[in-house]
Chain A
Amino acid sequence: MSPSPRRSKEREIVKYVLLFVDDEQFAQELQAMSQTERERAYERVRQWMADNAHVIRGGNKLQGPQTATTVRLGGGEPIVTDGPFVEGKEVVSGYLEIEVEDLDAALRMVRTWPGCPIVEIRPVES
């Protein structure tokens, strides 16, 4: 009894992308940590990844926003600018592709995420 039209027949699954978002405060907190504290924080993230490895299908941590280039193709010559597409205090810092049974399962997983303060859950179009 699934309200989702895009579940595969064999297994009840939905594909989501998790977008991880950092903000300034988080960056500062990370900066202020001692070497051991930081290693412990990374270890918590590694542990979370290991715990959820069975549903993770791919993903990456991204380099910082200062490395981003944005191209706008709004008619005429494409405009190339330095920096991310929205200049703001919140920046996408990574993404994961997951396959879980429904949005509740994705929410459960994200609730225990030990890293950056914001995560967007977006279903994948098939």
Chain B
Amino acid sequence: MSSSRELSHGELAHVVREHAGKLAASLMYVTGDFATAEDLVQDAVLAALERWPVDGIPQQPDAWLLTVARRRGIDLLRRQANYRSKLAQLEHLIQPEPDDRLRLIFTCCHPTLSREAQIALTLRVVCGLTTAQIARAFLVRESTVAQRITRAKQKIAAAGIPYRIPDDDELAERLNQVLAVIYLVLNEGYLSTADRVHERDLVDDAEWLASLLHQLMPTQPEVAGLLALIRLHRARDAARFGRDGSLILLKDQDRSLWDREAIQDAIALLSRAARQKRPGPYQLQATIVACHAEAPTFEETDWEQIVLLYDMLLGLAPSPVTRLHRAIAVRYTSGPRAAMAELDALADAFQAYHLYHATRAELLLELGRPDEAQTANRQALALTANPAERAILQERVALS
């Protein structure tokens, strides 16, 4: 045992993450049953979160987790017919192949499960989050998450959802499911860092998942694209918040706080992926963020290039949110009037989206229409619960 000094949430999460998925994959060999393997891992993780902060992280965390899982496993396996042979297997647990965690990921993200279930399962089984941690991170009730997971596991067993890597002809579509799950974990984490109350940083989990996937599927350019996107966001983390925890917008950020080395590494990763000439939405998004990250000042941002990249992105994956972001870039290439025209075309899609109204308010102010800007800011304020975003909007409403 290591010394029982104070463990940070980050350290604890890191060790759990490194071992939970591997243990799940090993247990799949023995039990052949996803739900049982998943339950055992969750039990072991809960025990670790209880003991490790008191006793310190053991020298061999994997052996520690396995011991707990085995103890519980014996009770579960006793009820099964071939209990003795399975018990023997549990004693000499097979080390999982690298691909086993990939099989685990593809099962968790099977397209016949709801997106919420895919996310909850992936975080629990592959990253070792507890149900309570997932519930807190996504601001939903713990019972809701528990029910999602139970239902998903029942479906995996009853509907015959396979535990394997998809065939080549299905791989692209199935990989998109996995990438979408990681992307949503990133988004949730990126937004929730605003209040910094979470013991578990979902951005860490998103980066770790993308990095694992990249390691297991090094020739998939979109996986590299998503990993680069996450790292480019992280590289600018230090500049995103003021001393008082308030959100600082891109144009006001102190760029000397950006991690230049991390930015260059992420761009190198992106360039290697681009050499395959198989562009995709994640590579394009990462390239857009790279344009921002490489600009020495906000004024020197290559907006022409950014608008072009948004056009390409819209060609591959049309979405109103992307059109909104493109409109913001258009403000700097063609002026506020042109950007406003773009926004007007999106009015129907975005009545309930705070960023739409906040963007509109900025443009209205530039166009010399302060009263309308004030109304738009108030609309935006009414539509977001995120404390950091609210603080900025409240300031704008108060100033005008």
Contacts and interface: CB of A to CB of B under 8 A. Distances in A.
B156 A3 contact: yes
A65 interface: no
B98 to A, nearest CB: 16
Contact of B166 (A3, A14, A104, A123): A104
A103 B29 CA distance: 20
Count class of interface residues, chain B? 20 to 34
B112 A3 contact: no
B160 interface: yes
Given A103-B160, A104-B162, A123-B159, A3 B170 contact: no
B112 A5 contact: no
A2 B32 contact: yes
B310 interface: no
Nearest to A122: B159
Count class of interface residues, chain A? 10 to 19
Contact of A2 (B110, B158, B163, B166): B163
- Residue from A2, A6, A106, A125 having most chain B Cβ neighbours under 10 A: A2
A14 B163 CA distance: 14
B160 to A, nearest CB: 4
B161 interface: yes
B127 to A, nearest CB: 20
B162 to A, nearest CB: 4
Nearest to B111: A107
B33 A102 contact: no
Contacts of B32: 1-3
Nearest to A13: B160
Interface in B23-56: 28-29, 32-35
A104 B170 contact: yes
Contact of A1 (B28, B35, B110, B170): B28
A5 B159 contact: no
A9 to B, nearest CB: 11
Interface string A1-18: 111111100000010100
B359 interface: no
A104 B107 CA distance: 11
A1 B161 contact: no
Nearest to B100: A1
Given A2-B32, A3-B32, 9 more contacts: A1-B28, A1-B29, A3-B33, A3-B34, A7-B160, A102-B162, A103-B112, A103-B160, A104-B161
Interface of A: 1-7, 14, 16, 101-104, 106-108, 121, 123, 125
11 contacts: A3-B160, A3-B163, A6-B158, A7-B160, A16-B160, A101-B160, A103-B159, A103-B161, A104-B170, A123-B160, A125-B158
